[in-house]
Amino acid sequence: MDFRTPFTNRWAGWYVTGKHGKALHRGNGFSKDKDGELVVNLKRGANITDLSDFFPVQAYLRASSDIVALLVFEHQTAVQNTITRASMDCRRMLTYQKNLQTELKETVTDDLVYDSVQHVFDGAAQDLVDDLLSKGEAELPAGLYGDVEFQMAFRRDERQVANAGSLKEFYLQGRLFKNRCSYLIYSEFFLALPDQLKQRVYARLISALRPAKPDPRYAYLSAEERVRTATILKRTHAEFQRAIGKRSEF
């Protein structure tokens, strides 16, 4: 389960608190056997704000299982998994190339020489940019409302840019974030990726976010959102800023 999972298929086996309008999810549900089939009434678990009917909430640090926090958790887990997989795959290919060059008595270089190595890096970069830009994100329902305290705490360290916002700014109207480039692009794990991979990621991001003729793969991003997101990255992300350089379109 991640940010691409349809809302109605999320959180089976989980407690969920918060408002989500008429949409249903699988949280807070208990199935019963009826004529040999498991049956669950999803409406009974909808729009729950108090879990005390399920268990003694006083025994826990929080009496809630906030719906927005769960959405953030799914986003973060999915993107972090992609970062981790890309790191492992690309580092393995760098080692493969170095060993092969040594074996063949070729010059050992950090440049990606072999087609097979380039292919892995290109694929990893595309997967990373897809997840960073929330490609395929399932539509969220109208009426989504969660714990304001969580949202304030989550945004406490955001990198805010005047007239553009931040990458941690919530939207909660059909999608999770206002500006769809994951805040994990600032993380230690992302910044520690091999430079050869990050160069490819930044190049794809620039192609996706440029004002004129952006990559059609990310056509779901409006012109306004692309401008906001590019502005935020330019002013808050040193490596992205260097990757853009003096490009006139930005």
- Residue-wise pLDDT for 46-102, tens only, equals 999 999 999 999 999 988 999 999 999 999 999 999 999 999 999 999 999 999 999
Give the model confidence (pLDDT) of 105-137 as tens digits.
Answer: 999 999 999 999 999 999 999 999 999 999 999
Question: Cβ(233)–Cβ(205) under 8 Å?
Answer: yes
Which residue range is the domain that position 104 belongs to?
A: 67-244
DSSP helix, strand, coil percent of the chain (3-state; round to 5):
50, 5, 45
In a domain, residue 35? The reply is no
Long-range pairs for 37-41: beta carbons < 8 A, 24 or more residues apart: none
Q: What angle do CA 130, 131, 132 make, to 5 degrees?
A: 95
Q: What angle do CA 117, 122, 128 make, to 5 degrees?
A: 125
Amino acid at 4: R
Question: Cβ(154)–Cβ(76) under 8 Å?
Answer: no
Task: Report the domain count for the chain.
Answer: 1
In a domain, residue 3? The reply is no
Task: Using pLDDT thresholds of 50, 70 and 90, give the confidence band for residue 31.
Answer: confident
In a domain, residue 61? The reply is no
In a domain, residue 34? The reply is no
In a domain, residue 164? The reply is yes
In a domain, residue 31? The reply is no
In a domain, residue 250? The reply is no
β partners of residue 17? 66
In a domain, residue 175? The reply is yes
How far from the centroid of its chain's Cα atoms is residue 57's Cα?
30
DSSP 8-state symbol, 184: G
